[in-house]
Amino acid sequence: MDKKFIDDSKKYLMNTYNRFPIVLRKGRGMKVWGSDGKEYLDFVGGIAVNCLGHCHPRVVIAIQKQAQRLLHVSNLYHIEPQIRLAKLLVENSCADKAFFCNSGAEAIEGAIKLARKYAKDHAPHDKYEIISAHGSFHGRTLAALSATGQEKIRKGFEPLVPGFKHVPFNDINALKESVTDHTCAVLLEPIQGEGGIRMPSEDYLRGVRRICDENRLLLILDEIQTGMGRTGKFLAYEHFNIKPDIITLAKGLGGGVAIGAVLAKEAVAAAFQHGSHASTFGGNPLACAAAEATINTLLEDGFLLDNCRRTGKYFFDKLETLKKEFPSGIIDVRGLGLMLGLELTKTGGPIVEACAKRGVLINCTSGNVLRFTPPLIVVEKEIDHLMDVLEDIFERLLQ
Ligand SMILES: *Cc1c(COP(=O)(O)O)cnc(C)c1O
């Protein structure tokens, strides 16, 4: 049965993903099931998408109700769930206005356009350059990959969109020196995700904010992976005592449904006027109803953010213990809340594969960093189970 699916998958789909030979059919909470009935404990969570766990009843019911009422209307009209969602995001962030799209890369595109337009409206000369960081990831569309600070993502797609510069993450002087008269914005992930769960060093983001203020640059924070409670706060910037001018969201925003958002301060948002930007499906009733239910659940259910902090800390400490046990195989433990990374001395692929065989799904990024982004409902017992599995596998594969 699985073999037939997998053969057809290879025959009919473009070869863009190196997929595991697993067909997933059903999910509930922390668990997913394969088409062969095999049960998995899911520490990937759609890579920080399934923040409430799989098929959270509140999200499912909101989708069912909305699907019966209204699936799609054009943005030529006002849309109830879109307005309510914008209000929720504004009331729970430093931003004043929202624009909705359908994915992370699209949110980045919107943020880039907004920053350029704002500079065009306000600067006496040409300001368009955006500085981002080495090791960053901002998506796969052409401008988003031009902003991405990883050669392997950009290679083969040249010529890239002009106007992007990259500096080492956590190097405040390199950033300062790269600012020119043409710079309009700095674009950063508060914690780098795809780049291997890289934390900002103490005071880095505050230093970045200061440089932006001194040079009249916009600070764009890409919270596509760090947002939606992932780090223990609704948005990750809240940990660092700064306020960005533009925020991008996607991944966890719809609790599993495709939706992205660009949030901005009032003065910045004003650069977009009628006709400046648009998206047919952006902010459609169905996706917005799912996102509204997701945010309301995240914020009303006192358990989730608290659990993310508490269980995230428990998880981090367990990884530290594992590091002590395998000092020659583990280089580092990093992360915040339930966005955690374990850097290994060797490639993580075989370990991810061995975990899947044992019924535990984890991810590896940057070649050798095991990444854990489980639903925010994960409990200690499930982490203990993951640790037992990892310990067994490390004894075989990491000695
Ligand atoms: C996943 C991700 C993106 C891209 O999102 P897509 O929905 O895949 O386009 C952009 N930025 C960050 C930080 C991400 O983690």
Q: Determine the pLDDT at residue 301.
A: 80
| Mean pLDDT on 78-96 | 98
Element (H, E) at 144: helix 142-147
DSSP 251-305: GGGGBTB--EEEEE-HHHHTT--TTS---SSTT-HHHHHHHHHHHHHHHHSTHHH
Which of 150, 192, 220, 251 to mutate for ligand 1's pocket (most ligand atoms within 8 Å of CB)?
251
Which of 112, 194, 220, 366 to mutate for ligand 1's pocket (most ligand atoms within 8 Å of CB)?
194
Q: Which residues form the catalytic set?
A: 137, 222, 251
Residue-wise pLDDT tens digits, 133-170: 999 999 999 999 999 999 999 999 999 999 999 999 99
For the chain, the average pLDDT equals 97
| Mean pLDDT on 100-113 | 98
| Ligand 1 binding pocket includes 102 (Cβ within 6 Å) | no
> What does the alpha-carbon distance between residue 389 and residue 397 come to, in Å, rounded to a whole number?
12
Confidence of residue 302 (pLDDT cuts 50, 70, 90): confident
Residue whose entry in the numeric block shows the structure tokens 């997701």? 294
Q: Whose CA is nearest to atom 15 of ligand 1?
A: 225
Q: Determine the pLDDT at residue 124.
A: 85
The dihedrals phi and psi of 131, each to the nearest 5 degrees, come to: -100, 130
Residue 102: how many CA atoms within 13 Å on its side-chain side? 9
| Ligand 1 binding pocket includes 189 (Cβ within 6 Å) | yes
Residue 296 pLDDT > 80: yes
Residue-wise pLDDT tens digits, 184-203: 999 999 999 999 999 999 99
DSSP 101-120: ESSHHHHHHHHHHHHHHHHH
| Ligand 1 binding pocket includes 250 (Cβ within 6 Å) | yes
- In the chain, what are the domains? 2-55+302-397 (3.90.1150.10), 57-299 (3.40.640.10)
Confidence of residue 1 (pLDDT cuts 50, 70, 90): low
Residue-wise pLDDT tens digits, 31-72: 999 999 999 999 999 999 999 999 999 999 999 999 999 999
Measure 247 CA to ligand 1 centroid, in angstroms: 13
Which of 146, 221, 225 to mutate for ligand 1's pocket (most ligand atoms within 8 Å of CB)?
225
Shortest-distance atom of ligand 1 to CA 141: 9
Q: Whose CA is nearest to atom 10 of ligand 1?
A: 138
Measure 49 CA to ligand 1 centroid, in angstroms: 10
| Ligand 1 binding pocket includes 193 (Cβ within 6 Å) | yes
| Mean pLDDT on 4-18 | 96
Confidence of residue 117 (pLDDT cuts 50, 70, 90): very high
Q: Which is nearest to 150 in space by CA: 162, 138, 163? A: 138
Least confident range of 142-151, 296-305, 373-382: 296-305
Measure 104 CA to ligand 1 centroid, in angstroms: 4
Q: Whose CA is nearest to atom 5 of ligand 1?
A: 104
Cis? peptide before 159, omega within 30° of 0: yes
Sequence-distant (6+) residues with CB within 8 A of 200 are 169, 170, 190, 191, 240
Residue 28 pLDDT > 80: yes
Measure 124 CA to ligand 1 centroid, in angstroms: 33
> What does the alpha-carbon distance between residue 333 and residue 347 come to, in Å, rounded to a whole number?
16
Measure 133 CA to ligand 1 centroid, in angstroms: 15
| Ligand 1 binding pocket includes 132 (Cβ within 6 Å) | no
Residue 2 pLDDT > 90: no
> What does the alpha-carbon distance between residue 334 and residue 372 come to, in Å, rounded to a whole number?
10
| Ligand 1 binding pocket includes 225 (Cβ within 6 Å) | yes
> What does the alpha-carbon distance between residue 37 and residue 16 come to, in Å, rounded to a whole number?
26
End-to-end CA distance of the chain: 36
| Ligand 1 binding pocket includes 257 (Cβ within 6 Å) | no
